[in-house]
Every structure is written in C-alpha cells, then in structure tokens.
A and B are shown apart, each in its own frame.
Chain A
Amino acid sequence: MAILVIAEHNNQELGAATLSTIAAALKIGNDIHVLVAGKSSQPVAESVSVCEGVTKVLHAEHEALEHATAESLTAIVVELASNYSHILAAASTFGKNFMPRIGAKLDVQPISDIISVESEDTFKRPVYAGNAIATVQSTDAIKVITVRATGFDAVATSGGSAVVESLTVDGHISQKSKFASQELTKSERPELTAAKIIISGGRGMGSGENFHMLEEIADKLGAAVGASRAAVDAGFVPNDYQVGQTGKIVAPELYIAVGISGAIQHLAGMKDSKVIVAINKDEEAPIFQVADYGLVADLFQAIPELKDAL
C-alpha cells in the first residue's frame, strides 16, 4: 500500500522538514503520496511533484486552508486514510498539532518523533528529553507517525515526476476552530532548524540588546540565532528562538552556546550537533561536558573578540 506524507508549507514554499519526512517514508516503502492542503498553493504542489521519490501529489485548495486548522486537516486526511499503510508528517509544531487528532479518529496510537525506521512497524524515538532511546513497535493497521527532521537526510528537490491530483474538501472545513491572526518573527537569517551554524544565547546574555552581539557574529557566519528557555522567558528574544526538549530540535554542523549552562532540557535540543562550542565563565557548567571546544571566559570579552577574529 502507498504511504501518505502531509506537506508543511506557507502556500509558496515547501518546508524543509517535509523533505526529511519524505526521506523517512522512503525507508518504509516506495509509493509515496504527498498531500498539499492550502490556498493558492500551486507552487508548492509543483515543487513537491518533482521531489525525489514522490509518486503522487494530492492537492487540496480552499480559502480556509490558507492557515489550515488541525480540525480541517484531520477531516481531509481521515477520508483518505484507508488507502494508506502509513501516514507521516514532520514532528514540528505543525505536525504535532494535527497528527494525534488523526490517530484518535482512526483509533490508532500514533508514534511521535521517530529518529529511525527499523522496519515497517518498528521505529526508534527519544524519550525523557533524549536521555533514553526507545524502540517501539506498532500493532495498529495504519501507522500514524511524526518524524524528527534531524534524523533523516532530506530528499533531493528535483528528479521526480509525480502526477498532481486535485481533491475537493468543501465538506471538511471546521466551523468550530478559526484562524484569527499570526505574528511571525521576521528574520533575514536562516531558519533555526535548517541552519548549518547556530549561535545561541542564554540567561548569561543579560538582555535583549546584548543579543545583537550574537546577531553580528551570525551575519558573518551565515548562521541562525537561538536561545535557551531562560533567555526566552526573560523576554530577551521571541519564543521561536528556543532550542530544547520543548522548543526546537536542531543538529547543525556547528552550535555555539554562549552563556548557557547546559540543562538537560537544553541539551535535548542540540546535542546531536556535529561540533559544539561553549563559551561560559563557569568552568563547572555542564555544557562543557558535551562541548568539543570549551572556552572559559566572560562572554562580554570573548564575543567582541570573536567578532573581530572572524
């Protein structure tokens, strides 16, 4: 049977995490259908149709799908579900929102946040903030799965030639839940989950203004800026900067932690980075236990020096 992947997008571009989700799907089977539900989302349907491994694109267009709610997406997918052995989406705030709802409607226990495919019904997933890795086997007829993007290398965005089929979804738009507004953080820098280099600040940064020092370095390196929960809670930076168990999971080539102590909840979000640098004035800080290169120093001295050295 075919596998259904639900695409994450902003009606213009496909989200990078979906490419990793398609890669996970290809480890399970080879007939991959992708649902693109949106408004004026033709460009997304087209770019999905040429992605490596995709055999069919299901394209649902509706005014209300500009910001699709979990309720509407669930109704659309549940109607399609009996054609599929597996339903996958990225374990982002997008996928985590509606996938469990689909699971419940199908009487299926979903599997969250997989990092590897062992077989068509067995997967690995982190639990306890990544302090243990569980191998779990599903006994449900349809597997409903969210995929941790850092666990799978993205498929190529060219080379495929899938057919695009339109879906009618008028009856599936929920009236009980309506999109009201959104406030997206604008940034010229790469997205945290897609960046090759990340420089993150913690409580030690002391203020939001001081984060500009990190931004200057980020711009020199083409990096994204992240933060610990403490820095977000203190109002230094917006919520979408948070890296960790309950924020974003990242695995860049280089992660630079500045004024971050290294609590397990923070490590859960970044310890799979290839190279970790820690700058902290406390030589006992737990972040040094995972750092490839540690610099014990006052950040207010080290960061300007680093900027000049780059």
Chain B
Amino acid sequence: MKILVTVKRVVDYNVKVRVKDDNSGVETANVKMSMNPFCEIAVEEAVRLKEKGVASEIIVASIGPAQAQETLRTALALGADKAILVKTDEEVQPLAVAKILKEIVAKESPEMVIMGKQSIDGDNNQSGQMLAALLDWPQGTFASEINVSDGKVAVTREIDGGLETLELTLPAVVTSDLRLNEPRFASLPNIMKAKRKPLEEVSSADLGVDIAPRTKTLKVEAPAQREAGIKVDSVAELVDKLKNEAKVI
C-alpha cells in the first residue's frame, strides 16, 4: 500500500512569536522554522507501517516556499521514499491545501493519506477533514492508534470524553494526535541518503488549482497580557488570599 504524508513548514514550537508592529501578521523573518510537530508524527507512523510491511512506499508532500524543501528532506531522512513540493509563496488556506492534495492523490493513487491534525501556526485543524470530503473518503481524525487490516483501518481517536474507535474502509484520510507515536531522530547516514532521494517540484497552476484565499486577515494583534501577580509565602497565606481577596473559594 502506498501512503501519502503531508508536511508543513511552520515557526518552530519553541519560538515565542511576536506580532508585527503594523498588525499585518506575525514576525517570521529570521525566525527558526521546523516541520509541524503533528506532521513529524504522521511521517513516523507511515515509516512504522512500512517497517511492519503494511506500507510499500511513502510519498511526502508539502505546499509552501522553496525552503519547504528542507522540511521535505527531513521527512526523507526519517524514511519517506519520494517528495513533492508544490511551490508557492502565497498563503494557502486549508480549502486550497485540500484541493491541491486532491490532485496529488489523483496522480499518485495512495490508499491512505496521513496528515497532522493541526498546524501549530494557523491552528485551524481543517485540512485533513477537507481533503477527505473532496475525495469522498472516510476520515479518522485525532488518531492515537491505527491498525490496518483487510482493506480497513481501525482508528482510535482522542475525543473530549476519552477515546473512540472507528472502522474505516480504505482508502481513507487519517490525522495524527500527539500520542500516536514518538517520532525518531534522523541519523546522519539517513540525512546523507535523503539528499539523493527524488524531490519533484510543481506549481499549483500546473495542477490547475485555484488557491485564491477565501478569508481575509484584516488585523493580527497581541493578546491581552496578564499582569504578573504576587508570590505568597505559605499555604495559609494562599488560602487566605483565595478566600478573602480573590473570593474564589
């Protein structure tokens, strides 16, 4: 079975982002960028399926600027076989991401697509569900465990009340939650090897997809800051403050 995995290049999760002075967005110049952590988990899951003999080939795709090549090389070093960069310097919203990925699915015919549940920049949590809808495939979102057998995939999902398991008929789209697995680090030899793996570049125009944004960002502001409070010296003082000053207990 062929698996398509999507990887997004985002501001590294350790960076404390700053809103630009003109409120047009957040500062991304000279900021460390990395693979979205949920996408790393998606790549790892595909690699494990390949190691188990369930998957035969792993294709990774990213939509973004030329530098997204680095993100794709990282995925290749982790064990993907082939990469596709859909090059664009525009902001691509999830509907457009889904439309582009639909074309890639048509070209590559994977039986499963594994994506991150959410990008830590846009925090939309949409793209996987939208791709599944456009393909008319079933979806298993927020996965913490997946098991493939007999043309089906059982997906255990992290939901607000606990866990839920769905049985999906393949082909299907799965999106990863944090506890699906713990991604490995790429070894030096694998990083070297990844440099020779195929990386194809296309444009959204080549794929015939209209990526014009549907929502406009009018303004980006910093959130209201909390004032730092006080330190108390003892549990007794804490309880007193909560009772008599804050009046919350």
Contacts and interface: CB of A to CB of B under 8 A. Distances in A.
Interface stretch (B103-111, B184-192, B211-219): B211-219
A164 interface: no
Interface residues of B, number: 79
Contact of A254 (B122, B133, B169, B246): B246
B162 A109 contact: no
Interface string B155-198: 00111111111111100100001110000000000000000000
B228 A264 contact: no
Interface magnitude class on chain A: 35 or more
Contact of A302 (B162, B179, B230, B235): B235
Interface in A47-97: 67, 69-71, 74, 92-94, 96-97
Contacts of A296: 231
Contacts of B95: 103-104, 107-109
A288 B172 CA distance: 44
Given A112-B124, A288-B231, 14 more contacts: A71-B138, A98-B129, A104-B130, A104-B133, A109-B215, A112-B123, A127-B123, A128-B120, A129-B123, A137-B215, A239-B162, A246-B178, A265-B13, A309-B239
- List 7 A-B pairs, minimum CB-CB distance, nearest first: A292-B229, A109-B214, A104-B133, A100-B126, A100-B129, A177-B138, A104-B130
Interface of A: 67, 69-71, 74, 92-94, 96-105, 107-113, 122, 126-140, 174-185, 193, 197, 221, 229, 232-233, 238-240, 245-246, 248, 253-254, 264-265, 271, 274-277, 283, 288-297, 302, 305-306, 309-310
17 contacts: A67-B164, A94-B160, A98-B129, A100-B129, A103-B126, A103-B130, A109-B94, A127-B26, A128-B11, A131-B19, A133-B222, A133-B223, A135-B220, A139-B216, A197-B249, A293-B230, A295-B232
